[in-house]
Structure 1
Amino acid sequence: MGRKNYLVEGPSGAGKTTVCDELQRRGLHAVHGDRELAYRGDPETGEPTITGGHEHHIWDLDKVRRLVSATDEPVTFFCGGSRNFQKFIHLFDEVFVLDVDLATLDERLRVRPEGEWGARSAERERVLQMHRTGGDVPEGVRIDATAPVEVVVDEILRRCRAQSPGRAELGEWTADFWLDPACPLTRHTARWISLIAAEYPLRIRWRVMSLSVLNEHRGDDPEGDPDGYLWIPARVATAVLVEHGHDALGRFYDALWTEPDGTGREWIGDISEALHRSALPRGLAEAGTSTAYDSALRASHHDGVDRIDAEIGTPVLVITTAAGERRAMFGPVLGAVPARQEAIRLWEATLLMTSIPAFREITC
């Protein structure tokens, strides 16, 4: 199912199901092995059995092989445990083993719903005993699963990118992304490029441009901003970039467009609150009504806009390959965040079009 396939294993209670849910929430292709592949059977022969306990919890070998050999997904994660993993573990590009300490494992098992494996005292003791001896799970890259699931998945994805053949052969690419922090359409493109960075060895460097700077020479006001409100978030974003760097700007930008629970907003939120949620000083909000960072804002703006010999808007995207080849473009401008497969197709199409020297523009 994936051109790259990863197995996420670990003892009962380590968090395999939770990790799978989080991978799917991020738009990545992940298979709940214990739901979609598992049955009761003989670990050696694969023959189904009517009775049997934990030792007969196995995965369908033919299904695993079929899914691994398909190539309709760039990457697929198989999450779950099985007693016949020795039969198919060699098919995976890497194995990640979720690792928890004994006390954490015991605590998680004690709150399991009745009917789930490990909820009963005898089952729980068996899981804990296997944890003590290190049995029942394959060898693999150990991932600290006591951390919040978001951190666990971040670490798994970081390891995947570090081992990617694309990185080994081509090295890491860079996407310099110039944004006006208050543009809703730019937000769609930013979410798209973030999704691509989770799939490929791509580092994003967030930068600032400004529609206010872009349009200040015009007699009309295409943004409908007679009071100059759009200067405020652009100035604050510049202050974040200057004082704390590209990654901090990315965190601030995400917080500006999301609620505290992570749901997206239709318009930017409170700047001071976004700074606080990004672990940045609230005092940076004062830059919004000051000209202290205007020279830096203009410099950043022109650093992006001047790379394209055309009348453009936001965003500006500059892709640099590991070999140093650079491609600058305005956009792509998106009306919504594309679904994962469409996002990947758009990325591949963008690279194809911008690799043609004669290519100039498409307007839909």
Structure 2
Amino acid sequence: MTTTTADMWFDPVCPWAWITSRWLLEVEQVRDVQIRFHVMSLSVLNEGRDELPEQYRGFMTTAWGPVRLAIAVEQKYGPAILRDLYTAFGTRIHHDKIPVGPDLYAAVLTELGLPEDLADAAGDDSLDELLRASHHSGMEPVGYEVGTPVIHIPGSDGELIAFFGPVVTPIPRGEAAGRLWDGVLLVAGTDGFFELKRSRTRSPEFG
């Protein structure tokens, strides 16, 4: 059986993307699927949106740091490192509730055995061109009316299947993760299918 390679675009600060990424790692265990991770940016996505609440605009300003650091690490060590980098970021941000800032960057880099001075990348806007390129490669096939997570999967006919989501909580485990994967493929691979949605009634659960 041929292994399916699925690509996911994430922003480390997004709790829903974190849950989806952990679901995808579960899918790897029960389906013949390999996940590759890529960086997108909610800060890039929300640029120029003056209607955003002031608190969220402040959050978007802070959110530049982790994605710049992720891009810098990817450039130096290759895209495969993003899997472990994202896990290190997500565990601290979403489980340990460590604020985005120097202490977070130092802890992530130390865990991965990476040079401490890479933390300077969080404030380096010269990385934004590369960040935007990674962001747009994920978003353009889906459109800019969505956020993260974004997933790309090759279709059986060779065409790209790209979609936002799934947005789910808690994290599906084991065969439940596999069944959700099967359903997502069926729906997303249906020609002309665009949207299936209902109001969120639960906050993200990271257990």
1:225 to 48, 57, 72: 57
Larger radius of gyration: 1
Residue number in structure 2 paired with 1:285: 119
Question: 1:321, CA displacement in angstroms?
Answer: 5.2
Residues of 2 paired with 1:220 and 1:361: CA distance? 24
Q: In the alignment, is the contact (CA less than 8 A) between 2:45 and 2:147 conserved in 1?
A: yes
Conserved? CA contact 1:257–1:267, under 8 Å: no
Match of 2:178 in 1: 344
Q: Secondary structure at the match of 1:292?
A: helix
CA distance in structure 2 between the aligned counterparts of 1:349 and 1:322, rounded to whole angstroms:
15
Aligned residue among 65, 76, 79 for 1:243: 76
- Name stretches of at least 5 consecutive residues in structure 1 with no aligned partner: 1-166
Q: CA deviation at 1:322?
A: 7.6
Q: TM-score normalised to the size of structure 1?
A: 0.49
- Name the counterpart of 1:184: 15
Letter in 1 for 2:117: G
Q: 1:248 corresponds to which letter in structure 2?
A: I
TM-score (norm 2): 0.84
Match of 1:174 in 2: 5
**Which position in structure 2 is the counterpart of 1:255?**
88
CA distance in 2, matches of 1:346, 1:282: 39
> Do the aligned partners of 1:180 and 1:208 also contact (CA within 8 Å) in 2?
yes
Distance 1:342 1:361, change over 3 A: same
Aligned residue pairs total 191
Over aligned residues, Cα RMSD in angstroms? 2.0
Is the alpha carbon distance of 1:319 and 1:267 closer, same or farther for their aligned partners in structure 2, counting shifts above 3 Å? farther
Shift of 1:172: 1.7
2:203 match:
none
Deviation (angstroms), 1:323: 6.7
More helix by share: 2
Q: Is the Cα contact below 8 Å between 1:235 and 1:288 reproduced in 2?
A: yes
Q: Which amino acid aligns with 1:229?
A: T
**Larger relative strand fraction:** 1
What amino acid maps onto 1:179 in structure 2?
F
Equivalent AA in structure 2 for residue 237 of structure 1: A
Maintained 8 Å contact 1:173/1:321: no
Alignment of 1:13-52 (within 5 A): none
Identity of aligned residues (%): 38
C-alpha deviation, 1:251, in angstroms: 0.4
**For residues 276 and 188 of structure 1, do their structure 2 counterparts lie closer, same or farther at Cα, with a shift above 3 Å needed?**
same
Residues 291-346 of structure 1: CA deviation (Å, up to 9, x unaligned): 12110001111111111135111111001258744210011112321232321111
Name the CA distance, whole Å, in 2 between partners of 1:310 and 1:294. 18
SS of the equivalent of 1:359 reads coil
RCO higher in structure (CA 8 A, sep ≥6): 2
Cα pair 1:207 1:241 within 8 Å, conserved: no
* Whole-angstrom distance in 1 between the partners of 2:118 and 2:157: 37
Compute the displacement of 1:266 (Å).
5.2
